[in-house]
């Protein structure tokens, strides 16, 4: 289940990732609620000069503290995809992909993603 900018209430924190996904086994249907309290399994933040510091220094640690298994940081400016996996209570960087590479990135490594398509306008 993938959602665009879902509002998450994780304990006392309210946070809105650019994209979030839950395994169907954890969220078989999208509940009719104004916000979600179940942490997602995957998040993706699209970095921009105005949000990069917030995404890296504030949001990423909150996602880790709340048990989000995977996080992606996507930078259209740098043309990079950073792939993180939860390792205890913090994220561990698994891979950095760049430019027009074709990639298989956790947790969606069963599918090939063509990064060049993301940079096209």
pLDDT digits (tens, 9 = 90+) for 78-113: 999 999 999 999 999 999 999 999 999 999 989 999
Instruction: For residue 66, name the pLDDT band (cuts at 50, 70, 90).
Output: very high
Q: What average pLDDT does range 2-20 have in this prediction? A: 95
Is the separation of the CB atoms in 59 and 15 below 8 Å? yes
Task: Name every residue whose Cβ is closer than 8 Å to that of residue 97 and which is 6 or more positions away in sequence.
Answer: 80, 81, 83, 103, 105, 115
pLDDT value, residue 121? 63
Give the C-alpha separation, 102 to 114, whole Å. Answer: 5
Q: In the predicted model, what is the mean pLDDT of residues 31-44?
A: 95
When pLDDT is cut at 50, 70 and 90, the band that residue 69 belongs to is very high
pTM: 0.93
Radius of gyration, alpha carbons of the chain: 14
């Amino acid at each position: 289940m993938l959602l665009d900018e879902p509002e998450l209430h994780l304990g006392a924190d309210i946070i809105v990732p650019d994209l979030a996904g839950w395994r169907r086994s954890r969220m078989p249907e999208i509940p009719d609620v104004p916000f979600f309290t179940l942490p997602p399994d995957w998040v993706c933040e699209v970095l921009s000069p105005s949000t990069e510091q917030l995404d890296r220094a504030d949001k990423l640690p909150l996602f880790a503290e709340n048990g989000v298994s995977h996080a992606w940081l996507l930078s259209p400016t740098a043309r990079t995809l950073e792939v993180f996996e939860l390792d205890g209570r913090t994220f561990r960087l698994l891979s950095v992909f760049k430019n027009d590479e074709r990639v298989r990135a956790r947790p969606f490594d069963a599918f090939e993603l063509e990064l060049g398509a993301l940079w096209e306008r």
